[in-house]
Amino acid sequence: MKINNLKINGFGKLKDKEVNFKDGINLVYGENESGKSSMLKFISSMLYGASKNKNGKDISDFDKFKPWQTEEFSGKLEYTLDNGESFEVYREFKKKNPVIYNSKKEDISKTFTIDKTKGIEFFEEQTGIDEETFYNTAITEQEGIKLSKSSQNSIVQKISNLISSGDDNISFKKSLDKINKKQNEEVGTERTSQRPINNVENKIRSLINEKRNLETYRENIYDNSLEKEQLKLEEKDEEIKKEFLKEIKVKLDNNRIKSAEINFNRNLEKEYNEKIEELNKKISKSETTEQIQEINNRNYYIIIAIILITFVVVTILNSFKLINFVVLLPLIFVFYKMSKSKENLREKEKNRDLDREKVIHEIEVLRENRENQKLEAEEKQEKLSNEIEKDKNELIEKYTKFLDLGFMEENLDKNYDEILREIERKENRLNTIKFRLHTMEASSEEINRKLENLAQIEEELQDAETEKDELLSLNKSYNIAKECLERAYEQVKESISPRFTENLCDIISKISDGRYKNVVFSDTDGLRVEIQNGNYIPASRLSTGTIDQMYISLRLSALNEMTDEAMPIILDEAFAYFDNDRLANILKYLNNNFKENQIIIFTCSDREKDILNKLNIEYNIINLEK
């Protein structure tokens, strides 16, 4: 395949530019920023389109190369395939699909496959080269001779496909992975979960357990019926006991009211008794006051006697003087106090006698009331005792056919709070029994329903076992397919791998002047080269120039294997790290070994031109600055 002509209406920095290419080597010369990279990108974009996706870059190719100074964003590319057929591609980059013309200028666009994302895939159909492979083999961009990790992986995969399957688009590893994935999805393994084989085995286990449980339930259904009958009898017995306890509670409620009335009489009796004691104390206190008054009177007499004796003695000793009169004054005062005291005493005795009579009368009334309350309380207590005994006998008589006498007598002697606790215990027990009966009823209904479906379960079990056999058979088929694929892989690898390695070794030997002859490549270790001492080392350990040669060899070798079409080899400043000898070797190698390939070299230096002239190799020069 050769590119004949480019007509660039507007793309990046290029505008109204037309370029004609020839067979052999084409040198596209221009200073930096003159549009070399734009022309290279124009070629690939005409063939595959300018993507609007960033694909990890800061800006998409569409936005990067959209012209600033013109609305025209289009161009045309004319090319000829190895079979001699010529085509023209016209593309407006703002539109998704180009227009493809044959040599008769007929629009043949609709004859190619249209991808919803990529558009018309005309060039891939014609050459078998997709855009990624085109970039990783046919094109080496400026300072991009070393493949990036992702690009290396892509080429590695293509080469691995060739080695393993004989077709660069068919990967043994991916095919094997797809079979394993399909096998995993459609069958599964012991290590997987929620896969068909796991699901059917779980279903079989579940059905077997369900069948076994149902058979066990069927054997024990009689025992369950006995337990249910026993629970119902216990429920009835507990209900009667609860009713018995509730009647006791009612009786105790009534007795508590009557006991309260009796306590009321007892309290009145006590209050009357306390009042009587207080009144008796009052009388005792009054008598004590009289005794004190009598003592006071006796004291007055003693004082008078002492004063009289003193007066007589003083009179005898001193005859009648003023001091006698002074001694006489207290005697007069004492007589006066005695007179007043007797008068008050007579008044108090009169009042005290009246009060005493009243208190004595009140005590008599209180004693009568006290006796009445006492009598009334005793009568009520006797009546309550008789009623309690009567109630006990009536309850025993009423429940004697249903309850044990010991149970009745035990609870009839309990107090109100104890009866409440017994009622609560009975209610809890009844709730437990009812819950158990409800559970048994629900369980019985479920068991009966399942027993009715036992035949269906056995049928489902048989279907599940059949499904498992089919899955095991399918799994066996997948294993056979993988064995066949592995055998085919080994056969293809034995036939293609040596040829590819030989081709790669031939290329690197020629461009390195025989310094490196043996090169091996694998998808696990990458590119390795044999050095002079016989050891194989990774290519990354070699010098920069040698590494460049290695990777160009890898690209060219891969390009030969990727397609039967002699694709153009496009190099953009690819020899920056080559010395003149290496540059001469690679240019001579390209000219001698790729005569069927069109070679387009973008450069800003005269080195390529000078060496080509020195080697007498013809070339076509295109100066972008003119």
- Ordered DSSP codes for 213-226: HHHHHHHHHHHHHH
CB 302 within 8 A of CB 265: no
Model confidence pLDDT, tens digit, residues 411-448: 888 888 888 898 889 889 889 988 888 887 777 777 67
What 3-state class would DSSP assign to 25? strand
From CA 209, how far away is CA 216, in angstroms rounded?
A: 10
pLDDT grade for 56, boundaries at 50, 70 and 90: confident
Other beta carbons within 10 Å of 466: 11
- Quick check: 142 pLDDT over 60? no
Distance (Å, rounded) from C-alpha 19 to C-alpha 22? 10
Tell me what pLDDT residue 253 has. 82
| 165 contact partners, CB below 8 Å, separation of at least 6 | 171, 172, 175, 488, 489, 492
Tokens 């390529």: give the residue: 608
Assign residue 307 a region (left: φ > 0; alpha: ψ between -120 and 50; beta: otherwise): alpha
Q: What is the 3-state secondary structure (H, E, C) of 504-557?
A: HHHHHHHHCCCCCCCEEEECCCEEEEECCCCCEEEHHHCCHHHHHHHHHHHHHH
Name the burial class of residue 94, with classes exposed (0-12), middle (13-18) and buried (19+) by CB atoms within 10 angstroms of its CB. exposed
**Contact criterion met (CB below 8 Å) for 549 and 511:** yes
pLDDT attached to residue 150: 47
pLDDT tops 60 at residue 164: no
| Cβ contact 42:75 at 8 Å | yes
- The CATH number of the structural domain formed by 1-129+564-626 is 3.40.50.300
Q: Read off the tokens for 69.
A: 């100074």
Q: How many CB atoms lie within 10 A of CB 580?
A: 12
**Is residue 393 scored above 90 in pLDDT?**
no
Q: pLDDT at position 293, please?
A: 56
Cα–Cα dist 42/9, whole Å: 11
Between 452 and 304, the more confident residue is 452
pLDDT of res. 320: 47
Q: How confident is the model at residue 22 (pLDDT cuts 50, 70, 90)?
A: very high
Assign residue 35 a region: left if phi > 0, alpha if psi is -120 to 50, beta otherwise?
left
Name the percent of the chain in helix, strand, coil, to the closest 5.
Answer: 65, 10, 25
The per-residue pLDDT for 224 is 72
Task: Show me where the domains of the chain are located.
Answer: 1-129+564-626, 197-429
Is pLDDT at 64 greater than 50 in this prediction? Answer: yes
* pLDDT range class, residue 608, cuts 50, 70, 90: very high
Tens digit of each residue's pLDDT (9 = 90 or more) over 454-506:
778 888 889 989 988 988 898 888 888 888 877 776 766 666 667 667 777 87
Q: Tell how far CA 286 is from the center of its chain.
A: 94
Q: What is the pLDDT of residues 577-596, one digit of tens each?
A: 788 888 898 899 889 888 89
In the chain, the amino acid numbered 400 is: T
Tokens 């070794």, residue? 505
Overall average pLDDT of the 383-398 stretch = 83
Q: What percent of the chain is predicted at pLDDT more than 70?
A: 77
Looking at residue 252, its pLDDT comes to 83
Alpha-carbon span 305 to 311, nearest angstrom = 10
SS (H, E, C) 593-607: HCCCCCEEEEECCCH
Q: How does residue 9 score in pLDDT terms, banded at 50, 70 and 90?
A: very high
509 vs 95: which has the higher pLDDT:
95
d(CA 233, CA 243): 15
- For residue 259, what are the contacts with CB-CB under 8 A and spacing of at least 6? 384
Q: Rounded to the nearest 10 degrees, what angle do helices 580-593 and 454-511 cross at?
A: 110
Spell out the residues 6+ positions from residue 582 whose beta carbon is closer than 8 angstroms to its own. 511, 545, 548, 549, 575
Render pLDDT for 260-297 as a digit per residue (tens, 0 to 9). 887 888 888 788 788 888 877 777 766 555 555 555 55
Q: Are 343 and 320 in contact (CB under 8 A)?
A: no
Mean pLDDT of the chain: 80
pLDDT tens for residues 67-76? 987 889 999 9
Residue at token pair 């010529």: 86
Which CATH class name applies to 197-429? Answer: mainly alpha
Picking from 78, 71, 73, the residue whose alpha carbon sits closest to that of residue 62 is 73
pLDDT of residue 251 exceeding 70? yes
| Torsion angle defined by CA atoms of residues 409, 415, 417 and 419, in that order, rounded to the nearest 10 degrees | 20
- pLDDT for the residue 99: 96
Q: In the chain, what is the straight-line distance between the N-terminal and C-terminal CA atoms, in Å? A: 27
